[in-house]
């Protein structure tokens, strides 16, 4: 009987421990701009002095930034040094709290190895569930701005996180930024174009349509086929013009997705290419992205479908987008006869320098081609793109020709100027 009583007691205790968090979380209401977050302590922490951080109201004008992130989000990680610099600049007038729902083992291992985090002193909340309930979101980075009274003043991406904007929150000034949390529930299985009266026709109906940005949904793409009705459907939601054209031509020309293989010959380049000096990226997307949908018969080939997409874009947007072969000044990565350092794997990276990282030759060429200001960069004949070098190149310097040239020379490579006939994606106004 004693054994039975003990077992029942343990079961009751287990129920109590499991149900208590549920009862607490059931009272949590998602917060929006203008709402107030209750004072609380959050944790556990990685990289912190203690195991928790208090979030409380301040009498001396403190701004609080809750920065939701994950290890797979490269832009989140790349922003950490900037966040730490801002924290140091503003001192006790600013509290930046990185937050992730990932577990301690994952974050601790990542924190030690990643080049952006291993020398970072900014603490981060891990294994979080509570703040994620207060501020639900679909993607990261996701930054919540709180003023000294813990009133939610804005919800943005990290590109809004600047010294100027932080000072606005500290000074209690009004801000009018795009609300990243303003997400609508949208059924992407339904067509952009209402079909109403056409549903009664037995003959399949086909169409192509373009609309402006669909606010609150983010980017979405879909390519599906209906074998019953013998129709296919392609859908792009909130895609910039250049991206739509690259989707239309990349089947035959995947290299044209690189900005260095695109010629944008227009009067107003901002409509086609983002300029961070002009506006925030979310604002640019809201003004200059489009939605495209086509419902087509499966009888045609995939190449025909994508060629028709290109023609649709030309017709609807009054443009002339095309693939054209042109003589282009470019750079070719070639081997030289100069002495070179041993390839990483046969020796320690940079004599054991832990700040050096290995990059494949192919990934370096790719990074250079992601910078629209660069000429096209080609991998020379006979070059093994899988070969690696050890370098202190960063996310920014990987796209800089001069920085890359200095590094690859150490391994017997050179970026040689040349002229080649290249297929280019050309977009101009009609």
Neighbours of 374 (CB within 10 A): 19
pLDDT digits (tens, 9 = 90+) for 244-282: 999 999 999 999 999 999 999 999 999 999 998 999 999
Looking at residue 315, its pLDDT comes to: 96
Looking at residue 40, its pLDDT comes to: 92
The yes-or-no verdict on residue 13 having pLDDT over 50 is: no
Binned at pLDDT 50, 70 and 90, residue 324 comes out as very high
Mean model confidence pLDDT for the chain = 85
What CATH architecture does domain 2-170 belong to?
3-Layer(aba) Sandwich (3.40)
The yes-or-no verdict on residue 121 having pLDDT over 90 is: no
Looking at per-residue pLDDT, the higher value among 128 and 57 belongs to 128
Looking at residue 344, its pLDDT comes to: 58
pLDDT digits (tens, 9 = 90+) for 353-380: 445 678 899 999 999 999 999 999 999 9
Looking at residue 195, its pLDDT comes to: 53
Looking at residue 60, its pLDDT comes to: 64
Looking at residue 167, its pLDDT comes to: 95
Paired strand residues for 358: 390
Most confident range, picked from 2-16, 59-73, 338-352? 59-73
Looking at per-residue pLDDT, the higher value among 60 and 245 belongs to 245
Looking at residue 313, its pLDDT comes to: 97
The predicted model gives 340-352 an average pLDDT of 48
Share of the chain above pLDDT 90, in %: 63
Looking at residue 191, its pLDDT comes to: 74
Binned at pLDDT 50, 70 and 90, residue 12 comes out as very low
Give the domain ranges of the chain.
2-170, 196-252+283-314, 327-429
* pTM for the model: 0.74
Looking at residue 204, its pLDDT comes to: 54
Which residues lie below 8 Å from residue 12, measured CB to CB, with a gap of 6+? none
The yes-or-no verdict on residue 294 having pLDDT over 50 is: yes
The yes-or-no verdict on residue 101 having pLDDT over 60 is: yes
pLDDT digits (tens, 9 = 90+) for 152-193: 999 999 999 999 999 999 999 999 998 988 776 777 777 776
Looking at residue 194, its pLDDT comes to: 61
The predicted model gives 288-299 an average pLDDT of 94
The predicted model gives 63-91 an average pLDDT of 93
Contact criterion met (CB below 8 Å) for 331 and 367: no
Looking at per-residue pLDDT, the higher value among 337 and 422 belongs to 422
Distance CA 380, CA 251 (A): 23
Looking at per-residue pLDDT, the higher value among 213 and 229 belongs to 213
Distance CA 246, CA 108 (A): 39
Distance CA 281, CA 287 (A): 10
Lowest mean pLDDT among 108-112, 238-242, 304-308: 108-112
Binned at pLDDT 50, 70 and 90, residue 17 comes out as very low
Binned at pLDDT 50, 70 and 90, residue 108 comes out as confident
């Amino acid at each position: 009987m004693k054994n039975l009583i003990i077992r029942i007691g343990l079961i009751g205790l287990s129920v109590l421990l499991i149900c208590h968090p549920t009862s607490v979380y059931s009272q949590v209401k998602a917060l929006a701009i203008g709402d107030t977050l209750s004072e609380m302590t959050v944790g556990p922490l990685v990289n912190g002095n203690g195991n928790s951080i208090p979030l409380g109201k301040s009498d001396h004008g403190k701004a609080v930034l809750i920065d939701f992130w994950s290890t797979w989000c490269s832009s989140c990680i790349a922003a950490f040094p900037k966040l730490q610099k801002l924290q140091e600049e503003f001192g006790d007038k600013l509290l930046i709290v990185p937050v992730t729902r990932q577990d301690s083992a994952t974050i601790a291992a990542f924190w030690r190895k990643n080049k952006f985090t291993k020398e970072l002193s900014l603490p981060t909340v891990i294994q979080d569930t509570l703040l994620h309930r207060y501020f639900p979101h679909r993607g990261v980075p996701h930054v919540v701005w709180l003023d000294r009274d813990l009133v939610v003043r804005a919800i943005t991406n990290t590109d809004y996180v600047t010294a100027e904007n932080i000072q606005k929150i500290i000074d209690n000034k009004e801000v009018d930024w795009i609300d990243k949390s303003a997400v609508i529930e949208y059924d992407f299985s339904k067509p952009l174009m209402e079909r109403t009266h056409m549903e009664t026709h037995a003959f399949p109906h086909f169409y192509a349509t373009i609309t402006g940005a669909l606010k609150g949904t983010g980017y979405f793409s879909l390519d599906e086929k209906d074998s019953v009705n013998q129709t296919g459907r392609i859908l792009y939601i909130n895609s910039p013009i250049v991206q739509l054209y690259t989707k239309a031509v990349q089947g035959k020309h995947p290299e044209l997705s690189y900005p260095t293989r695109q010629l944008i010959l227009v009067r107003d380049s901002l409509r086609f290419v983002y300029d961070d000096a002009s506006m925030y990226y979310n604002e640019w997307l809201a003004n200059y992205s489009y939605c495209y949908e086509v419902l087509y018969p499966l009888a045609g080939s995939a190449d025909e479908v994508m060629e028709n997409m290109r023609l649709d874009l030309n017709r609807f947007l009054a443009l002339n987008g095309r693939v054209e072969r042109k003589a282009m000044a470019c750079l070719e990565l070639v081997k030289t006869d100069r002495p070179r350092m041993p390839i990483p794997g046969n020796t320690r990276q940079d004599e054991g320098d832990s700040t050096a990282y290995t990059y494949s030759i192919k990934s370096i060429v790719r990074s250079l081609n992601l910078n629209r200001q660069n000429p096209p960069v080609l991998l020379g004949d006979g070059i093994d793109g899988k070969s690696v070098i050890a370098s202190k190149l960063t996310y920014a310097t990987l796209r800089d020709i001069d920085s890359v040239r200095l590094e690859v020379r150490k391994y017997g490579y050179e970026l040689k100027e040349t002229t080649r006939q290249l297929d280019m994606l050309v977009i101009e106004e009609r």
